[in-house]
Amino acid sequence: MKHLFLQKVSTATQADLASNGKFFVVVGVIALVFLGISGFLIYIDKRLKKLEDKA
């Protein structure tokens, strides 16, 4: 019974997600989080380069 119930709840389809524009906000946030982390990685990479040039 429990599983039947779970299956019913979990059938959100692509159309359901897109029907309310707020889902795209989440996608945007995920993208920004990743961009932030990558930006920091680039920053580290550049600072490391400077250290290497000095050494």
Partner 1 sequence: MISFWKVLSIVLILYALIGGLLMPVPDLPILEQSIRNLYYHVPMWFSMILLLMASAWQAIRVLNGKGRLADAASSTFATVGMLYGMIGIVTGMLWAKNTWGVYWVSDPKLNSAAIGMLMYAAYFVFRGSMDEEEKRARFSAVYNLFSFPVFVVLIFVIPRLTDSLHPGNGGNPGFNQYDLDSRLRMVFYPAVIGWVLFGFWLADIGLRMKKLEIKNEE
> Where does this chain bind partner 1 (CB under 8 A)?
3, 10-14, 18, 24, 26-27, 30-31, 34-35, 38, 41-42, 44-46, 48, 51-52, 55
Tokens of 28: 């945007």
Q: How far is the CB of 38 from partner 1 (least distance, A)?
A: 5
Say which residue the tokens 């990685």 belong to: 41
Query: Which residue, 1 or 12, is less far from partner 1 as judged by CB?
Result: 12
Q: How far is the CB of 29 from partner 1 (least distance, A)?
A: 11
∠ CA 38-42-43 to the nearest 5 degrees? 115
CA–CA distance, 43 with 48 (Å, rounded to integer): 9
